[in-house]
Amino acid sequence: MSELVINGGKKLSGEICVQGAKNSVLPVLAATVLCGGECVIHNCPQLSDVETSLKILAHLGCGCKKDGDTVAVNARDISDYSIPDTLMREMRSSVVFLGAVIGRTGKAVISSPGGCELGPRPIDLHLSSLNKMGVTVKEEHGYLNCTAENGLHGAEITLNFPSVGATENIILAAVLAEGNTVIHGAAKEPEISDLADFLNSAGARINGCGSDTVRIRGVKTLGGAEHSIIPDRIVAATYMACAAVTGGNITLKNVMPPHMASILWLFNESGCKVNINGKSINLLSPQRLLRVPTVRSLVYPGFPTDAGPIAAALLCKADGTSVFVENIFENRFRYVDELKRFGAKIKTEGKIAVIEGVTELSAADCKSTDLRGGAALVIAGLQADGLTRISRIEHIDRGYESIERDLGVLGAHVRRETGT
């Protein structure tokens, strides 16, 4: 098993390009199932979750070619509608294939998806929405057998929570359905807009993404498309935090600042100087970070839950006490015990974490509990004195292309060691 070894206390400086968004590329790759021609996707991050998606596509009968950060997918001769349990368990986002496969073949067989253990994330909202579009679901031996015997049809669907995954699955199922579909209470994340941009370039008719009402007019077929994935706003937040806690000065290129308003608010509140120039962001950290009285995770455009662990690690040495309120997931604070190994003073109760800033952190041996919790440990290790070792970094590899390479470009002393 591999681990990251960090020699902390090095000030970060320089510039780096931000990878394509994990939460955009996965639904876009799933969407290629719906297309009758070749799809060429640029700015694909080289992640383990992307590799899993390509394995799923190949299992379904798609032709896949990869060249650097460009992936070509041809789903013209799709031959299967089931996804093996082994692949479903590798990532939670695999559930997004449900809407795409049903949309293309009229049926799908999947098991319960895997990914990070962040508490209950039931797919009932996905299934009830698809049911309104003509899908019948039978659960047998841990598998979901989904069929649309009379074909998919449009529907008016109201989501009682703006679920990103449910919004994506409805869109994917609706683009080739008969008639019109309207989603009320849709999620507004920029990754959903990116998915719609890709599908529209292939011939879909989707309007309203970025608002809470999305309208899809079904079409007969989709062709091929060429598309570039938007930058990853959570990766950008991570590298900004790495610079901020080390007293650094960095510039991020290939970012979309309008997608990051709530994240940029956090860094401004903590005393960093943030300058935006088109698609680049410069961050200059203060001598000591300031406390941020309250940070609350909310659905977009609010502060993203994925950036919660990053915020906690950022504020461990801030001057004063900060409070983080997690409003999305129930089990998001599993990383806190690992941060305490560094000497962080954090108390949690229910959905609230109280972070009392300390003057020093010490290096620690720790393990990633999930993707963003792992990123929080990297941030802690960079600001701690001594040699930190982080195990179970397969979680980190799900969302960061090569975190040791990127941080090394900025002057961090980080290496990957592979044990027996």
29 plus 8 within the same structural domain: no
Span 333-359, mean pLDDT? 97
277 plus 321 within the same structural domain: yes
Span 371-392, mean pLDDT? 97
CA distance 170 to 31: 12
pLDDT tens readout for residues 222-245: 999 999 999 999 999 999 999 999
User: In this structure, what CATH number is given to the domain that contains residue 357?
Assistant: 3.65.10.10
Res 1: pLDDT: 81
Asked whether residue 115 carries a pLDDT value surpassing 60, the answer given is no
Pairing of strands 321-325, 294-296: parallel
Residue 209 is among the residues annotated as catalytic for this protein: no
Q: Backbone phi, then psi, for 217, in 5-degree steps?
A: -100, 120
**Which of 228, 250, 267 is the last residue before a domain boundary?**
228
Res 118: pLDDT: 41
CA distance 131 to 362: 53
Asked whether residue 324 carries a pLDDT value surpassing 80, the answer given is yes
Question: Predicted confidence band at 320 (pLDDT cuts at 50, 70, 90)?
Answer: very high
CA distance 118 to 101: 26
**Which of 195, 228, 261 is the last residue before a domain boundary?**
228
Question: Predicted confidence band at 112 (pLDDT cuts at 50, 70, 90)?
Answer: low
Asked whether residue 113 carries a pLDDT value surpassing 70, the answer given is no
190 plus 305 within the same structural domain: no
Stronger pLDDT, 103 or 419, i.e. the higher one = 103
120 plus 193 within the same structural domain: yes
37 plus 167 within the same structural domain: yes
DSSP assignment, residue 21?
Answer: P
384 plus 285 within the same structural domain: yes
223 plus 273 within the same structural domain: no
CA distance 403 to 390: 12
Span 120-132, mean pLDDT? 84
239 plus 311 within the same structural domain: yes
369 plus 323 within the same structural domain: yes
Residue 215, domain extent: 22-228
Candidates 116, 146, 242, 316; catalytic one: 116
243 plus 282 within the same structural domain: yes
190 plus 259 within the same structural domain: no
Asked whether residue 163 carries a pLDDT value surpassing 90, the answer given is yes
Mean of all residue pLDDT scores within the chain: 95
Res 120: pLDDT: 47
Asked whether residue 185 carries a pLDDT value surpassing 50, the answer given is yes
**Structural domains in the chain (count):** 2
Question: Predicted confidence band at 143 (pLDDT cuts at 50, 70, 90)?
Answer: confident
78 plus 215 within the same structural domain: yes
**Which of 182, 205, 228 is the last residue before a domain boundary?**
228
Res 133: pLDDT: 98
